[in-house]
Amino acid sequence: MTEADDRKPRSDEARYDPEITSEFAIPKGLDVPKTGGEPETTSEFQVPQGLLTPQPPAGEPEGSAFSTPRTYDAQGGLAAFTPATGVPLVSLVKDAPWQDRMRTMLRMSVADRPAPEPVQHEEESGPAVPRVLDLTLRIGELLLAGGEGAEDVEAAMFAVCRSYGLDRCEPNVTFTLLSISHQPSLVEDPVTASRTVRRRGTDYTRLAAVFRLVDDLSDPETHVSLEEAYRRLAEIRRNRHPYPGWALTLASGLLAGAASILVGGDLIVFFAAAVGAMLGDRLAWLCAGRGLPEFYQFTVAAMPPAAIGVAFALAHVDVKASAVITGGLFALLPGRALVAGVQDGLTGFYITASARLLEVLYFFVGIVAGVLLVLYFGVKVGGKLNPEAALHISPRPLIQIAASMLLSLTFAVLLQQERSTVLWVTLNGGVAWSVYGAMRDVADISPVASTAVAAGLVGLFGQLLSRYRFASALPYTTAAIGPLLPGSATYFGLLNMAQNNVDKGLVSLANAASLAMAIAIGVNLGSEVFRLFLRVGSPGKRRAAKRTRGF
């Protein structure tokens, strides 16, 4: 240190005692002696010593809310509905028919689906995505308009997209709207297209042709280009119905006559019910040509059979007038829409199921309005119709089995089925009625349980025939449930209401609704049991079937 440095005034920091480090330190002599092990500085929010409550020992260390509990053992634990590691994937059987494979993949998440292997080989750049989506929507529109279930329509749309190599496709089907979205990758914009179903028509021949087109698109051995698929789809749209109009009218009359035999009618009742149903069919065609909605078509078609039955009652003819009216109702009951609606509800398509069932309700209300109007005026003018006649139906097994087969055959004609399927569905309907009659009349089982079992066999045999012939199951099941439809319970419920017996009428209508639900659930359950336990339709069998068809 120099002499100049010695002459500088010392700073304030230098004047403080080096042992004192803070201006808030307690001066010497004023510090309080420590009596315990407390720290020098404490928080003002700290609980004073002596007031601390003993804490129970912790069961497990605190961790994340999403961590596995200490007491959980993955090896010895029970199988949970939603495991901590995720929901197990549904097994995908490679040799199953395309319907089952597509249905299984639709129930998977997009990330878990296997990568598609293009079945239809196009040029290196691949087909245009908008054209593939447009073809998919057109195929789905024909299937949905033809009465196919929503899950089967989505499976067919998914199969068409994957056959052309489009991954990450999500079809969506509702009652009147179809849409499909394709996302090429996580960084590219998705492509979405939609189509509205404006008209619905019952033509199972066209439905089977569309089904064969989807079947060929899903087959790796059958090359169908995009242009060829469009050409075949245009031919399907232009295809004429297999049966002329006069054949459909005759089929509706024979259906009503066969139904009247099932409920105890004789030969006179057969012809009377047939004439009434044919008159109702022609009136419905006239209303359709004038552009009236289907509600009024059903109302008008239900009047002629009811009027003939009331005329028999007024003329005091010794016939079962109730059988005439019941036979006419069988030709109008919307069994196809009912089965499709319940099937959509059981498979998780609740919006479509609600719309279908609401459609069935409107049709049923139209039938009720037409029949009830005629019955009301018939009762007012003195027509004596006995609601208790439903309790006196004598069992005639051979005649009723023949009538049930005739009913299924004519129902198949009304549904515009292919002629090669009519024989099979006729036999299926005869088997269904035989089982129903044996359980109800011989074993004395309730009609609802008997109907459910018979409908389950219809669904089982329908799936078996459809897988054997690689076709849709609808042509083999819908017409076969015709003999099981609750026409008698519906009529006697309406008759009781027309005679001011509202309580008995509601009970009979509730019985009819129970029978209808038993039919729909039985058909769906039989189909699901077949898919669960039986495997029919391997690629080897399909190749043999295609060689038989001439491909």
What secondary structure does DSSP assign to 82-131, as a single string?
S-TT-PPPPP--TTS-HHHHHHHHHTS-GGGSPPP--SS---TT---HHH
What is the C-alpha separation between 283 and 301, in angstroms, rounded? 6
Provide the pLDDT confidence category of residue 19 given band limits of 50, 70 and 90: low
Q: Measure Cα distances from 255 to 247, 300, 330, 411 in Å.
A: 12, 18, 8, 7
Domain-embedded: residue 455: yes
Domain-embedded: residue 49: no
Q: Map residue 347 onto helix, strand or coil.
A: coil
Does residue 422 share a domain with residue 401?
A: yes
The predicted-structure confidence for 466-488, as pLDDT tens digits, reads as follows: 777 767 788 888 888 888 888 77
Tell me the mean pLDDT in the region 209-220.
Answer: 86
Does residue 252 share a domain with residue 148?
A: no
Which residues on adjacent β-strands are paired with residue 192?
181
Stated as kind and residue range, the H or E segment containing 173 is strand 169-173
494, 486, 485: which is closest to 303 by C-alpha?
494
Provide the pLDDT confidence category of residue 136 given band limits of 50, 70 and 90: very high
Domain-embedded: residue 368: yes
Domain-embedded: residue 462: yes
C-alpha triplet 408, 411, 413: angle, nearest 5°? 115
Does residue 251 share a domain with residue 225?
A: no
pLDDT for 101 equals: 63
Does residue 220 share a domain with residue 249?
A: no
* Whether the Cβ atoms of residue 526 and residue 460 lie closer than 8 Å to each other: yes
Does residue 532 share a domain with residue 500?
A: yes
pLDDT for 135 equals: 92
Question: How is residue 168 written in tokens?
Answer: 């990450």
Provide the pLDDT confidence category of residue 137 given band limits of 50, 70 and 90: very high
Domain-embedded: residue 394: yes
**Of the listed ranges 28-32, 409-413, 452-456, the one predicted with least confidence:** 28-32
Q: What is the amino acid identity at position 274?
A: A
> What domain range includes position 172?
98-238
When the pLDDT of each residue in the chain is averaged and rounded to a whole number, the result is: 76
Is residue 334 scored above 90 in pLDDT? Answer: no
Domain-embedded: residue 192: yes
More confident residue, 208 or 53: 208
Tell me the mean pLDDT in the region 84-112.
Answer: 56
Tell me the mean pLDDT in the region 18-32.
Answer: 58
Category of 77 on φ-ψ map: left (φ > 0), alpha (ψ -120 to 50) or beta: beta
What is the C-alpha separation between 70 and 83, in angstroms, rounded? 16
Q: Map residue 53 onto helix, strand or coil.
A: coil
Is residue 97 scored above 70 in pLDDT? Answer: no
pLDDT for 65 equals: 46
431, 436, 458: which is closest to 448 by C-alpha?
436
Q: Measure Cα distances from 473 to 78, 309, 353, 469 in Å.
A: 39, 37, 19, 10
Does residue 440 share a domain with residue 376?
A: yes
Provide the pLDDT confidence category of residue 207 given band limits of 50, 70 and 90: confident
What is the C-alpha separation between 224 and 243, in angstroms, rounded? 30
328, 334, 293: which is closest to 311 by C-alpha?
328
Of 199, 218, 238, which residue sits at a domain end?
Answer: 238
* Whether the Cβ atoms of residue 480 and residue 429 lie closer than 8 Å to each other: yes
Provide the pLDDT confidence category of residue 134 given band limits of 50, 70 and 90: very high
pLDDT for 109 equals: 56
Q: What is the amino acid identity at position 511?
A: N
Question: How is residue 527 written in tokens?
Answer: 């189909």
**Of the listed ranges 14-23, 137-146, 215-224, the one predicted with least confidence:** 14-23
Question: How is residue 164 written in tokens?
Answer: 């052309």
* Cβ within 8 Å of residue 270, ≥6 positions away: 257, 258, 260, 261, 327
Provide the pLDDT confidence category of residue 23 given band limits of 50, 70 and 90: low
pLDDT for 405 equals: 92
Per the structure, how many domains does the chain have? Answer: 2
Q: What is the amino acid identity at position 196?
A: T
More confident residue, 137 or 441: 137
What is the C-alpha separation between 551 and 549, in angstroms, rounded? 6
Does residue 446 share a domain with residue 335?
A: yes
Torsion angle of the four alpha carbons 141, 142, 146, 148, in this order, in degrees rounded to the nearest 10: -60
Residue recorded with tokens 């004395």? 444
Provide the pLDDT confidence category of residue 406 given band limits of 50, 70 and 90: very high
Does residue 335 share a domain with residue 253?
A: yes
What is the C-alpha separation between 107 and 109, in angstroms, rounded? 7
Provide the pLDDT confidence category of residue 77 given band limits of 50, 70 and 90: very low
Provide the pLDDT confidence category of residue 289 given band limits of 50, 70 and 90: confident
508, 485, 491, 266: which is closest to 374 by C-alpha?
491
Does residue 200 share a domain with residue 178?
A: yes
Does residue 340 share a domain with residue 301?
A: yes
Is residue 25 scored above 80 in pLDDT? Answer: no
* Cβ within 8 Å of residue 497, ≥6 positions away: 372, 505, 506
Does residue 262 share a domain with residue 187?
A: no
Which residues on adjacent β-strands are paired with residue 172?
179
Domain-embedded: residue 170: yes
Of 209, 238, 267, which residue sits at a domain end?
Answer: 238
* Whether the Cβ atoms of residue 128 and residue 184 lie closer than 8 Å to each other: no
Q: Measure Cα distances from 263 to 311, 405, 482, 517 in Å.
A: 19, 15, 13, 20
* Cβ within 8 Å of residue 432, ≥6 positions away: 404, 454, 455, 457, 458, 480, 481, 483, 484
Q: pLDDT > 70: what percent of the chain?
A: 71
Q: What interhelical angle do 245-262 and 267-289 show, nearest 10?
A: 140
More confident residue, 513 or 253: 253
pLDDT for 254 equals: 92
Of 238, 265, 290, which residue sits at a domain end?
Answer: 238
Domain-embedded: residue 203: yes
Category of 11 on φ-ψ map: left (φ > 0), alpha (ψ -120 to 50) or beta: beta
What is the C-alpha separation between 507 and 487, in angstroms, rounded? 15
What is the C-alpha separation between 519 and 486, in angstroms, rounded? 10
Does residue 351 share a domain with residue 498?
A: yes
Which sign does the torsion angle of CA 258, 263, 264, 266 carry? negative
